[in-house]
Structure 1
């Protein structure tokens, strides 16, 4: 008697729960639906939750991915404590130690000491006398803890820069003073995106402090990264000792044309996923690989 045929199906990959960590005003994060859709295609069940949601059970997730936690600045100690606690009950990306260091821009001093070329910077901590050593025609003053160019200003006088420094110092933060690079007006910043340590795509971002007010946080046009930019970005990431799900390396060019690091975004950067059709899948695939 013939043996009846049985229907054979390929085993499905088990679904994994992943928290997309955001903040109260999540509607301003346009990447949430894009990411959740890409995660679903990889068998990842995503859910957007506030980082400070007292009812959230982070242990119920296979991973928590920090994304748009853009309200942490005045609560940085609370935020980094949350990251440490959450990392004890689930996989946290990026890791808590990386988050704690990256949310204080003095990490740039460490990278400079390691030989990474950064935009020239003078540092003034609380209590330091704000006496500028360099005679830059225009300066940018920013705090060591901020998001989205918050409390960042451009000055063409030493008096204006000094007043901005003092205001930052009075808030208990360290002031950073940098020269305003004219090349940024024409070329903009180049942001290179890496997922799981692999280069994904790059965008050109307008100068945030352009006189015409054209700068915008989430504005970015697709751009081909140059070889020297890729080389510097990879050298920067090589200095980070932990695996990263995502990284955004923001570069500008000096007057001589050399790339300089202006910021390394490892906490809550906009990823410009709309700039490349394969970017959402690359991001989701990198997460799946890290969880495998």
Structure 2
């Protein structure tokens, strides 16, 4: 059986201890069906040296949850893996740039539609007040550009004095109320092939769609054609050899689909909702091998 490495969170970080083992088990079960053994190992064990990963045919960084809270070390790890020539999928270059949401600005520059965004190196109350004036929005989303799982993400209403603003680089966007009605739709791709889609809606009274905040996930038999077209546009704009990708999007009030995230590092790819149970994912890994 072919052995590959599956990078997991720092074992000393309790934040995801109740969830990531289930994701590991789903990935491992799908791969085992294709004759591939996934060996779990914390990414934090391989930051300054790659010797522990050199014996594997492939390295999947698909559960490196928590890297956003240790971003300098994450970038150091990516540099270590690049220098060692490790067979990572997705590529280490992607793992580095995709860890900072500033990449969304570059995709917007390539014609990918996304919400109006104000980028700030240091957000202050004055920055947020000015953003209300610039966008004309009644509510704004403020979040660090290095973030995951709605970490340090705030919903601020006009006239509200924001507190606990991000101290690092951040992005400010008008809040899209369609997140409450239409939800966020995630399209999952393996290689260049669409696999399945999930719709995610926040719990009543919340704006976050993550399941730890009560988000409701519903598999879609087929995503809207315009949503699929946007996902394909995003992948074409990225134009790098991706083994897996999750493209998250939301329609605006006019029904126009807008990119929220291109998740290329450690997305939950919802194999528990995949119609084939992950067979397409396993085939993509086998093809990469």
TM-score, length-scaled by structure 1:
0.86
1:123 aligned to 2:119?
Answer: yes
1:42 aligned to 2:34?
Answer: yes
Match of 2:4 among 15, 18, 27: 18
Match of 1:98 among 86, 94, 99: 94
What stretches of structure 1 of length at least 5 have no aligned partner?
A: 1-14
Give the superposition deviation at 1:47: 0.8
Cα deviation code 1:174-202 (max 9, x no counterpart) = 12111111111111000000011210000
Give the superposition deviation at 1:158: 4.5
Give the superposition deviation at 1:159: 4.2
Give the superposition deviation at 1:104: 0.4
Separation (CA, whole Å) in 1 of partners of 2:196 and 2:252: 22
Separation (CA, whole Å) in 2 of partners of 1:267 and 1:225: 23
Give the superposition deviation at 1:248: 0.5
Q: Is the alpha carbon distance of 1:114 and 1:266 closer, same or farther for their aligned partners in structure 2, counting shifts above 3 Å?
A: same
Aligned residue in 2 for 1:202: 197
Deviates more, 1:182-191 or 1:22-31: 22-31
Match of 1:222 among 219, 222, 229: 219
Aligned residue in 2 for 1:135: 136
Q: Is the alpha carbon distance of 1:51 and 1:246 closer, same or farther for their aligned partners in structure 2, counting shifts above 3 Å?
A: same
RMSD: 2.1
What stretches of structure 2 of length at least 5 have no aligned partner?
A: none
Separation (CA, whole Å) in 2 of partners of 1:59 and 1:48: 14
Aligned residue in 2 for 1:9: none
**Contact map agreement 1:229 1:251 (CA 8 A) in 2:** yes
Aligned residue in 1 for 2:287: 289
Give the superposition deviation at 1:160: 3.1
TM-score, length-scaled by structure 2:
0.87
Structure of greater Rg: 1
Separation (CA, whole Å) in 1 of partners of 2:45 and 2:113: 39
Match of 1:62 among 57, 62, 68: 57
Give the superposition deviation at 1:119: 1.3
SS in 1 for 2:279: helix
SS in 1 for 2:111: coil
Give the superposition deviation at 1:84: 2.8
Q: In the comparison of the two structures, how many residue pairs are matched?
A: 270
**Contact map agreement 1:229 1:259 (CA 8 A) in 2:** yes
Give the superposition deviation at 1:279: 4.4
Cα deviation code 1:223-267 (max 9, x no counterpart) = 121111111100001112321111000010011101000111011
1:147 aligned to 2:182?
Answer: no
**Contact map agreement 2:248 2:263 (CA 8 A) in 1:** yes
